[in-house]
Structure 1
Amino acid sequence: MKNNHVIWDWNGTLLDDFAITAQITADALAELGRPGVTPEMVREHYRRPLSEYFSALLGRTARPDELRHLGEAYERNYDPAMHGLPLAIDALDALSTLAERANQSLLSMAPHGQIEQLIEHHGLGSHFTLVEGFTGTGHPTKRQSLERHCETLDVNPRACWLIGDTVDDFAAAAPLGVRTALVTTGMQGRDALLATGAPVFDNLADAAEHILNA
């Protein structure tokens, strides 16, 4: 393998949490007078920034109080359930396969404390040279976070792959020279992922194999 580092996304990639994320969103939108949101609609409309995503699902511009309601609903319902969420069915196999020929790290925009708890819960710490979630204040983009992640690791971005589940993952990686493998297990559907031009896979094992053979 010509590349020696793989950076993993967490939610919807290594962690199989799409169903609960979609359900929390649908329930919160119903409370705002927008019932009937389906998982398919979530995948169709998901984007960053989240204000545009929620506005697309509402069918109008989301008000600040509505965005707060959606954020609070996620915090209220996700944390109590998160330890019961499974890893992707082939997560351990993919991690082990890549470990034979590459170092690996994890970068997430989810709260760092939450990521630390779940990494420990699933016993994944030994797989990663660095685990980073969101800390501090403000709203850094994933591109900014990814750039800092590579600097902290002291790795050349062009020697890295990112495995993720969203167009935002690709948009963060491409300007830095990080190549991306996208999987259809998370927040966005196949058509949106394919439109990036990045390779798209239905599971982590195939993504890992592609990286090894690149």
Structure 2
Amino acid sequence: MWDWNGTLFHDIDAVVGATNAVFEPYGLGSYDADRFRAVYTRPIWAAYERMLGRPLREGEWEALDLGFHDNYHRLMLECGLAEDALATLDAWKATGGRQSLLSMWAHERLVPKVAELGIDHHFTRIDGLRGIPGGHKAEWMVTHLAALGVDPADVLVIGDSLDDAHAAQHVGARAVLYTGGMTSRADLAACGVPVVDTLADALDHA
């Protein structure tokens, strides 16, 4: 089971750029990828509170989230698949293994983007977020696996965040975490699951 943002889709530059855009009025200074990874967590509003050093005010999360996505959807047009994503998808397909895609990005945007990049045929099922953004992945993974009708013990989750690992643990699946996304290697390693620097290396754990 693949994650999308920060895993198959290499969008860290768009994420950081969109974050800088919405926080510019707060005078926090610009983040680069490493500085952003140092504060990133899920739920996203907790990361925003880390950045601000205070709780979000009423209505502030909604405004920041809307502004982030407006900027992200503009900047992501310059992003593409991770360097070895296509080769890795092909390699697993060649083994006869099944693949699915579960993302916390909006479902109505995810499905056409995956098709646009020409990889939709690799996945038995594609699910994006159909609810309020910013929360945890675990409940959506339960629904995704139920729709697939597979035993979680037979599933390897490949993602880039602690939320991916926690969701896998919640459903009883295994996880491997990839360093190309929004979480620092140190934080990934502290989670206690395998950490890899390429998507191809993730298949060694399948």
Displacement, 1:64? 3.3
Confirm whether residue 63 of structure 1 aligns to residue 57 of structure 2: yes
Counterpart of 1:87 in structure 2 is 81
Moved more, 168-177 or 140-149: 140-149
2:119 to 98, 117, 124: 124
Counterpart of 1:187 in structure 2 is 182
SS where residue 103 of structure 1 aligns?
coil
Q: Give the AA of the match of 1:110.
A: W
SS where residue 86 of structure 2 aligns?
helix
Displacement, 1:154? 0.3
Counterparts of 2:84 and 2:23 in 1: how far apart (Å)? 32
Counterparts of 1:86 and 1:195 in 2: how far apart (Å)? 29
Answer yes or no: is the 8 Å Cα contact 2:162–2:191 preserved in 1. Answer: yes
Confirm whether residue 149 of structure 1 aligns to residue 180 of structure 2: no
Answer yes or no: is the 8 Å Cα contact 2:38–2:183 preserved in 1. Answer: yes
Deviations 1:83-141 (CA, angstroms, capped at 9, x unpaired): 43110000001101111231000000110011012111101111000000011458763
Change (3 A) 1:81 1:30: closer
Counterpart of 1:3 in structure 2 is none
TM-score by length of 1: 0.90
Q: Give the AA of the match of 1:169.
A: D
SS where residue 177 of structure 2 aligns?
strand
Counterparts of 1:72 and 1:145 in 2: how far apart (Å)? 22
Answer yes or no: is the 8 Å Cα contact 2:18–2:69 preserved in 1. Answer: no
SS where residue 99 of structure 2 aligns?
strand
Moved more, 28-37 or 174-183: 28-37
Counterparts of 2:156 and 2:110 in 1: how far apart (Å)? 20
Answer yes or no: is the 8 Å Cα contact 2:45–2:134 preserved in 1. Answer: no
Quote the RMSD (CA, aligned, Å). 1.6
TM-score by length of 2: 0.93
Counterparts of 1:70 and 1:59 in 2: how far apart (Å)? 15
Displacement, 1:35? 1.9
Answer yes or no: is the 8 Å Cα contact 1:12–1:185 preserved in 2. Answer: yes
Counterpart of 2:172 in structure 1 is 177
Counterpart of 1:12 in structure 2 is 6
Counterpart of 1:202 in structure 2 is 197
Change (3 A) 1:203 1:74: same
Deviations 1:127-186 (CA, angstroms, capped at 9, x unpaired): 000000011458763111101111100000010000000001001111221100100000
Counterparts of 1:139 and 1:84 in 2: how far apart (Å)? 23
Counterpart of 2:128 in structure 1 is 133
SS where residue 104 of structure 1 aligns?
coil
Q: Structure with the greater relative contact order (CA < 8 A, sep ≥ 6): 1 or 2?
A: 1
Q: Give the AA of the match of 2:48.
A: F
Give the number of equivalent residue pairs.
205
Counterparts of 2:134 and 2:74 in 1: how far apart (Å)? 24
Counterpart of 1:38 in structure 2 is 32
Percent of residue pairs identical? 35
Q: Give the AA of the match of 1:48.
A: R
